[in-house]
Amino acid sequence: MASSGETSRGVWIFARPLQFGTIFGSQFVNHGKYPFCHWGVLVTSLDFSTAQQILKEIDSERDELGLGTMWEILRDEEGSNRIDATDFSVSDAKEQWSMFSAEYLGATGLTDKQMHNEGTLLDKDVY
């Protein structure tokens, strides 16, 4: 989990279909329709225009380009939820989020540690 000393970073919400959701086709990750999806939140120091351009044109020439920190709620082997924050690159977007929709939510002044603490408080309510 990276930390940031910057005062403001962009926040993007990502949605991708769960494995069984792809049976129904890609219509579930566009036009505001998101049933059967896994969600992630990308926090990035890239400006809006740069991030938007990169996310529109995911290509192999930029594989190692870091996009920011991806926050996800994942279920472990015991069935418990955990919050995971990992460095996220273009290659991660291609490999883990090959079919996705991303929407810009706004900016945050919170550090990664503050976000983690806030998310941990809410983690008890996620089932």
Q: What is the pLDDT of residues 85-94, one digit of tens each?
A: 999 998 888 8
> Could you read off the pLDDT of 41-96 as tens digits, one per residue?
999 999 999 999 888 887 667 778 899 999 988 888 888 888 889 999 988 888 88
CA distance linking residue 106 with residue 9, whole number of Å: 8
124, 115, 33, 21 alpha-carbon torsion, rounded to 10°: -60
| Beta-strand runs (E) in 22-121 | 37-44, 66-75, 81-89, 101-108
pLDDT band at 13 (very low <50, low <70, confident <90, very high): very high
Centroid of chain to Cα 20: 20
pTM score, two decimals? 0.74
- Per the listing, tokens 């990992």 go with 86
Q: 33 pLDDT exceeds 70?
A: no
